[in-house]
Amino acid sequence: MTEIVPARPASTVVVLRDPSTPLRARGSAFEILMVRRNDQVAFMAGSYVFPGGRVDQGDRLVHDETVAFRAAAVRELQEEANVRIGVDDLHPLAHWVTPEIEIRRYDTFFFLARMPRDQVARHDEGETTALEWLTPAEAIARFRRKELLLPPPTYTTICQIAPLRSIDEVLDWVKRRPIVRVMPGFFKNGEEVTLTLPGDPLYPTIPGWDVPEETRFVLEDGNRWAPRKP
């Protein structure tokens, strides 16, 4: 039996800002900060993700794991995107855990934050090689055109907030939403590899989880998770 690799604690931050131009405002109520992972990194190479990373020992200044996740989120956002916020600016959004089949696993808390008006985001030119502000519609459209890679948790999160009409509405939705632990299912049928989310016919739903329209992802070309409806 293959030994299950423990999931390392990690944090990521979904940063939103108002549309940068009147033209973009016609198509969306907000933009999302996305960074592109370096092609040379071991985990999610080349993917567009929200800024984030592992919880380090220095984030554990007190014996409270909740504080450590928030400290890591603040630190990683500054390191990867040059954005400085405080722990009180973070709003819990989601909790994703890498499937047990993977050799690199993370137990990741997603947070939401509003972009400070007096700051300019820049990628770190190390772990990340590009930074873009994308509306939800742009991110989804470019993903479907195979112009960028989005991991299943990232894609699902974007789809969940896309219908909301303002940053304030997103924040209100987040405050009402229970945080549930989601670990995608993993199935292999011959050469086809599939991830499933709660609510899929192959994965029982979880109380409090908002079941998305697309609850499964099929691996294509070795690195692209293509969403599918059941």
Say what angle helices 152-161 and 136-144 make with each other, to 10 degrees: 140
220 alpha-carbon distance from chain centroid: 20
Domain residue ranges of the chain, discontinuous segments joined by +:
8-183
CA 153/CA 54 separation, integer angstroms: 16
Question: Which pLDDT band, with edges at 50, 70 and 90, does 178 fall under?
Answer: very high
216 vs 22, higher pLDDT: 216
pLDDT at 23 over 70: no
pLDDT at 136: 95
Structural fold of domain 8-183: Nucleoside Triphosphate Pyrophosphohydrolase (3.90.79)
pLDDT at 189: 84
CA 163/CA 135 separation, integer angstroms: 11
Burial tier of 99 (Cβ tally within 10 Å: 0-12, 13-18, 19+): middle
User: Identity (one letter) of the amino acid at 39?
Assistant: D
pLDDT (tens digit per residue) in 112-164? 999 999 999 999 887 888 999 999 999 999 999 999 999 999 999 999 999 99
